[in-house]
Amino acid sequence: MTQGTLLRQITDYANRADPYPLYAELRRTPVSRQDDGVYAVSTYWEILSLLHDPRISSDIRNRLPGAAGGLPPDAEEDTGLPPSFIRLDPPEHDRLRRLAMRPFGPPHTPRRIHDMRGDLSRMVTGLIDDLGDRREADLVDDFAYPFPVMVICRLLGVPHEDEARFHVWAERIVAGIDPSSSEDPAQRQLTAQQARVELGRYLAGLAEEHRRTPGDDLLSAMVTAQDPQGRLTPIEMITTAVLLFIAGHETTVNLITNGMLTLLRHPEALARLSKEPELAVPLVEELLRFEPPVQFLPQRTALADIEVAGTVIPKGAPIWLVLASGSRDPRRFDEPDRFDPERADNQHFGFGSGVHYCFGAPLARLEAQIALTQLARRLSDPGLAEDPPPYRRNPVLRGPRHLRVAFDGLTG
């Protein structure tokens, strides 16, 4: 195995259950050029520097034609939805993000997430109650997937009964960022873009309904906003709604599932959480470091020649920021491969950093804190029915596809 083939090994499904030894190998060279031309950045301080470096672009259109993951030389202009703001650079990124955040939190709606706490607790209670007299459950299908979907539907104002429709769209969109797929990349991107368009049309129809009869939800807020500093255009509103819908549940599913898997592998921490609910706050931060739902950012591009740790990344070259590796860098974290629910100074990359820091982080944290606390308290003597569990195919959004857990019934 050479440094130039490590990313290929990491994205290989055979290593999905435990990529961390490969990350340790990758960190031996903080910036390594892979055989396909990608520059992998794997150490904490170098990743942090680039996340805050304006010479790094999130816009794939800045990548050299024909570069790995870039646009082919003969690519025609995309006729689907334009990119969402997470795939744009300042100043356009900043304008769209500011408008998107307006109905989501401070300063315009500072209590929105806080005031959802009661609803979130009731959703979690209901899902656990639905397990009834069962002695085994798939915590993905029975809990970790439906809970964030219920939350984002409530937040955006999307009818939950349409879940079967948007589940298919979401899976196809997420597959579009899977660099390990054996499917033709162009076909995969086309399928993902078609799904974005279909989901966008669906959300546009809903937005029109909310314009006529607005409610206390984000779609209503976006289509009725009156702001002297500007408002989202109709197409910007659609791309933003698609982004919020997908990002609002896909990563949280992994956070909760990876969290329960880790706790079941560390029963002493699970037992503590069941008796000390206040432990949930630092525990979730450690989970975001130890088993992050987003493993790396594969769509960054150098806007200029950039020297990092003695290596020059040339202008136009593709860059992968390997967040999960950085969050286990021993130069930054003591005993990084040890799960420590009370770890101090835990500045992980679980939500990224810099201008693209996840603005849904407060909601994801709260969802995970409530979900894991109630599962720890109410599942009697739980244990893994299968370890390691089967994982999702996607190495970027890494998490179990199923998590079968046996238990002796429910308490409370």
Residue 48's Cβ-count burial label (10 Å; 0-12, 13-18, 19+) is: middle
Strand 318-321 to strand 39-41: parallel, antiparallel, or no bridges (unpaired)? parallel
Look at residue 288 in the predicted model and tell me its pLDDT: 98
Look at residue 72 in the predicted model and tell me its pLDDT: 39
Tell whether the model's pLDDT for residue 73 goes beyond 60: no
Confidence of residue 403 (pLDDT cuts 50, 70, 90): very high
Beta carbons of 314 and 62 less than 8 angstroms apart: no
The whole-number average pLDDT for the span 317-325 is 97
Confidence of residue 271 (pLDDT cuts 50, 70, 90): very high
pTM of the model: 0.93
Tell whether the model's pLDDT for residue 20 goes beyond 70: yes
